[in-house]
Structure 1
Amino acid sequence: MSPEQPSSKIGKSVGEKLRAARITQHYTQSQLAAPDFSVSYISAIERGQIHPSLRALEILAARLGLSSTQLLPNKSQQEERTSAATALSEREEDEVELSLLDAHILIIQEDVTSAVTLLEHISTRRLKRSHQLQQRFLVGWAYYKAAKYQESEYVLSEAIQIAKELNAQYLHLRILHQLALTYAAMRNYAQALLAHQRCLNQLEESGLQDPFFVAQIYIQMGQHYTRLGDFEDALEVFHKALTITEEFTTSKSIQATYTNLCQYYASLKDTELATLYAYKSTQLRNLDMMKHLRSKLYHYLGHAIIQNDSTRLQAYLDQAWDTPGVKQDMLTQASLLSHRAAWHFMQDDLATAKKLALEALERAQPFADTLIMADTLIVLGRIGYASNKYDEGGKHFVSGLDMLERLESHEELANESVLYAQLLEEIGQEREAFTHIRRAYQSRLKMGK
């Protein structure tokens, strides 16, 4: 079963009410859908195959002269669903938890279809409320990975209500984070910022010190601000994230933080999370994780500075190069060299730009596919075309675009594919240019744009 076909009593109830209201108002599915939705989306809701997002429900209800609550399931159905979640035997609980873990692993492995099929099967069982929460979170995450953003928004919003009811702090924060990513994928960056700010507020209220999670939130917020054109705020949150990551340059500092988190959850009698962080505190490879996070952050920060005020870039790069930890971090060095190459390219100093880009490529290669290496390849592609070395530049461009596709960086892939198509058109290769315009279009479709 595909990720877009969850069937439930709630879905059918919404669909039946929508269809009845549409027929009463003498609307066709096409008339109700335009201009925000497709006919197939309306049809799938009416057949109970998918849940509409809360935002979609409000839009559709307004068109029909109703309130969104009039399209929601009857209270008696919801109460019936809740009462069905009776206590499970210990063996059944173990089976459910194992299935949830399997689904989690499948999502990480990008096998989203199998994950959703398994999660749908779990939903047919009598679940404890805590298991319902985990199941809804994983379904929302799976929909996000499958680019079913409206469905993801609906399910994650539902999961947030359960998390509040259970006071499940850890999952509540992760669901909010995932919801923010979903909003960003829908290009609703204002809502994404709001959801991430709610994460920060909750962390502050709880007193929980999870610097790794906070750094990730700041990085995402920086990207939201950048896409909204608010570069000053983007720079501010990127610098906050840098301040956090620069504290974790050794495995010892990371281990100490995980130990503190373990003790925090142990004090709350949450043995599962305490155990999780106890294991993490022993994993020295987390140092590499922080290095990758820091290098990715320098990459985004450099892009934000270039877009806002390229004259500040050299000073930033010089300062960043002398930051403690960077001299031992080859991937971050690659990021800084790539940005320096881009700056020299903008100044038409192609020889220096190429030299720096090749140095960046050399440092990035041991890490296989990374956004930094893809960006470096594309910089080399631009240099090649500016130097009239079209074959050389084309090879670098294609390698960079292929890497962005493997990384599922669809927005960057779409933007750079359009740029490459323009360069191809300028040298009379219209057929090849069309291929990359189509690639950009397909990338935007995957983003739901």
Structure 2
Amino acid sequence: MKEGIHLCKVGHLIRAERIRQKMKQVVLARGICTPSYLSKIERNQIAPSEEIATLLFNKLKMDIDTIQEKDYESEPEIEAFLNDTYKKVLTVRNDEFRKQKLAELESRNLLFENDSHHYSFQLILLRLRLILGIDLVARKKEIDNLSKLSSNFNPRHIYMFNVAKAIYYYSVKNRKQAIEYLEEVLHTVDDISLEVWEKAELNYMIGLIYTADNRIFIAIEHIRKALGFFQENFLMNRVLECYVLIGVTQKRSEQFEEAFESYYKAKQLCDEFNLDSEKGLVYHNLGSLYGTMGKSKEAINFLMKAIKIKKDTRSQLISILGIVIEYSKIKDKSSVNQWCEKGISLYIQLKDESLISYYHHFNFFKSLHSKSGLSEEIAVAAIEHFKKIQDHQYINKYSIALAEWYFNNRKYKLSSILYNEANRYGYIYRKNQKWEDL
């Protein structure tokens, strides 16, 4: 056992690794100690002997020599370290810095005597991994594991956990579930003391998710709250993000001139403050705006500019999809096919199952514009995928496309069924209960 490791602190590490490996207490304890004794070790109620601790670590295949312990002088120092780390990973909008910070935190395997600090550390790691979009399938498992510990969370931990879950569900395109967790956050936020910067981050995120769900007026209210803080503190890249998001809300409200004005304010910030890496975001949204206005040529031009500038290959996928949609509108089958192939190739290259929605988008458009026409199998697979993740917009959209294909191929009964299905999900997407509400 490594000199200097306090055995009274190892319970958190043992429990976290056991849960990660989906190992039951009775399995880990077998041949070493009783399950009840292991339970007390994991809750740091008792310190195991060096022999038992070593046996537990060996069974979990954990190398105790890689565990590093920070010798803090006091509990306030630990708290200050965690608070500082949390603030940095949220406010420094640089993925390279965040990756470096994540690697540093993951390598340290800090040991905490205080349960509260252990939970804070795990929730900071979860938030950082979600921000970076790292393996969202693994993040769901991480959320499930933390849920088993959540009965021990204090109000601030509950807040951090609900925010993380909202981010996760937004990332996997399940806006309904994301908003449910956001509403829980809003109900409990008054029970904890948030710093001004953290309120701004929360307001921006609420604005982002409500915009995605077409809750325009409440979205703008939250975005403007965040914008005020970012402007006061001269955080120009965050100001730019707010202008872009305001532009999106204006586009959704068909205030096209206002949207152009917001996007060009964002572009001016890029030029004035050398925010070159943000231009891809601005160009993408300008392309999307032109597309909404029916100007496909201009839309494609800006979307191609966005792809050239974007350094993050993951974010290129949405611009590629935008190009596919615009070429589809003007019936350029060859270009649709070409860009779908690029999108599918990039998806395969990234090896991230959380991006599978893009695979279904590209596959659908490629099939729709193929010589043989839309494949029923591919269309149904896409619709079923979006049902699974409760993305009602695309269930509606692709059900209409398949219904039209059935109708054009004289499959009138199937066409009627799909049109009804499309209408039903269209009502859900637009939050209408009856056709009279349309």
TM-score (norm 2): 0.52
Distance 1:158 1:308, change over 3 A: same
1:98 alignment counterpart: 118
Contact (CA 8 Å) 1:420, 1:433: kept in 2 or not? no
Are 1:193 and 2:203 matched, yes or no?
Answer: no
Deviation at 1:237, TM superposition (A): 3.6
Deviation at 1:378, TM superposition (A): 3.5
Distance 1:346 1:102, change over 3 A: same
What secondary structure, in the 3-state scheme, does the structure 2 residue paired with 1:139 have? Answer: helix
The one of 308, 314, 332 equivalent to 2:297 is 314
Distance 1:245 1:380, change over 3 A: farther
Contact (CA 8 Å) 1:140, 1:151: kept in 2 or not? yes
Distance 1:388 1:248, change over 3 A: same
Contact (CA 8 Å) 1:327, 1:333: kept in 2 or not? yes
The one of 256, 264, 268 equivalent to 1:231 is 256
Deviation at 1:401, TM superposition (A): 5.2
Deviation at 1:413, TM superposition (A): 2.4
Q: Report the Cα distance in structure 2 between the residues aligned to 1:441 and 1:245, rounded to whole angstroms.
A: 43
1:410 alignment counterpart: 391
Deviation at 1:151, TM superposition (A): 6.0
Deviation string 1:60-119 (CA, Å, 9 cap, x unpaired) is: xxxxxxxxxxxxxxxxxxxxxxxxxxx9x9898842122133245557413555545534
2:182 alignment counterpart: 152
What secondary structure, in the 3-state scheme, does the structure 1 residue paired with 2:177 have? Answer: coil
What secondary structure, in the 3-state scheme, does the structure 2 residue paired with 1:193 have? Answer: helix
Q: Report the Cα distance in structure 2 between the residues aligned to 1:300 and 1:371, rounded to whole angstroms.
A: 20
Distance 1:181 1:161, change over 3 A: farther
Deviation at 1:381, TM superposition (A): 3.6
1:272 alignment counterpart: none
Q: Which amino acid aligns with 2:363?
A: L
2:149 alignment counterpart: 118
Map of 1:283-298 to 2, 5 A cutoff? 294=280, 298=283
1:350 alignment counterpart: 333
What secondary structure, in the 3-state scheme, does the structure 1 residue paired with 2:235 have? Answer: coil
Distance 1:429 1:237, change over 3 A: farther
The one of 363, 366, 372 equivalent to 1:377 is 363
Q: Report the Cα distance in structure 1 between the residues aligned to 2:147 and 2:324, rounded to whole angstroms.
A: 44
What secondary structure, in the 3-state scheme, does the structure 2 residue paired with 1:389 have? Answer: coil
Q: Report the Cα distance in structure 1 between the residues aligned to 2:427 and 2:150, rounded to whole angstroms.
A: 28
> Please, which moves more after superposition, 172-181 or 329-338?
329-338
Distance 1:183 1:355, change over 3 A: closer
Deviation at 1:199, TM superposition (A): 0.3
Distance 1:154 1:238, change over 3 A: same
Q: Report the Cα distance in structure 2 between the residues aligned to 1:319 and 1:203, rounded to whole angstroms.
A: 27
Q: Report the Cα distance in structure 1 between the residues aligned to 2:306 and 2:214, rounded to whole angstroms.
A: 34
The one of 196, 207, 223 equivalent to 1:169 is 196
Structure 2: which 5+ residue stretches go unaligned? 1-75, 80-110, 131-138, 170-175, 433-438
Kindly tell me the number of residue pairs found equivalent between the two proteins: 301
Distance 1:383 1:186, change over 3 A: closer
1:255 alignment counterpart: none
Q: Report the Cα distance in structure 2 between the residues aligned to 1:244 and 1:395, rounded to whole angstroms.
A: 47
Deviation at 1:399, TM superposition (A): 6.1
Distance 1:400 1:432, change over 3 A: same
What secondary structure, in the 3-state scheme, does the structure 2 residue paired with 1:304 have? Answer: helix
Contact (CA 8 Å) 1:413, 1:440: kept in 2 or not? no
Distance 1:141 1:366, change over 3 A: closer
Are 1:139 and 2:162 matched, yes or no?
Answer: yes
What secondary structure, in the 3-state scheme, does the structure 2 residue paired with 1:417 have? Answer: helix
Distance 1:433 1:355, change over 3 A: farther
Deviation at 1:208, TM superposition (A): 3.5
Deviation at 1:344, TM superposition (A): 4.1
TM-score (norm 1): 0.51
Q: Report the Cα distance in structure 2 between the residues aligned to 1:337 and 1:110, rounded to whole angstroms.
A: 27
2:46 alignment counterpart: none
Q: Report the Cα distance in structure 2 between the residues aligned to 1:327 and 1:140, rounded to whole angstroms.
A: 27
Q: Report the Cα distance in structure 1 between the residues aligned to 2:429 and 2:329, rounded to whole angstroms.
A: 31
Q: Which amino acid aligns with 2:122?
A: D
2:401 alignment counterpart: 420
Structure 1: which 5+ residue stretches go unaligned? 1-86, 124-131, 251-289
Deviation string 1:101-144 (CA, Å, 9 cap, x unpaired) is: 32455574135555455344213xxxxxxxx4454243355367
Q: Report the Cα distance in structure 2 between the residues aligned to 1:240 and 1:341, rounded to whole angstroms.
A: 27
Distance 1:188 1:398, change over 3 A: same
Deviation at 1:383, TM superposition (A): 1.8
Contact (CA 8 Å) 1:378, 1:401: kept in 2 or not? no
Q: Report the Cα distance in structure 1 between the residues aligned to 2:395 and 2:153, rounded to whole angstroms.
A: 37
Q: Which amino acid aligns with 2:255?
A: D
Deviation at 1:362, TM superposition (A): 4.4
What secondary structure, in the 3-state scheme, does the structure 1 residue paired with 2:294 have? Answer: helix
> Please, which moves more after superposition, 135-144 or 431-440?
431-440
Deviation string 1:147-189 (CA, Å, 9 cap, x unpaired) is: 17356325325426744xx5x1231122212333454466422
Q: Report the Cα distance in structure 2 between the residues aligned to 1:148 and 1:338, rounded to whole angstroms.
A: 23
Contact (CA 8 Å) 1:137, 1:159: kept in 2 or not? no
Distance 1:351 1:120, change over 3 A: same
Deviation at 1:200, TM superposition (A): 0.7
Q: Report the Cα distance in structure 1 between the residues aligned to 2:122 and 2:287, rounded to whole angstroms.
A: 39
Q: Report the Cα distance in structure 2 between the residues aligned to 1:106 and 1:180, rounded to whole angstroms.
A: 22
Deviation at 1:299, TM superposition (A): 4.9
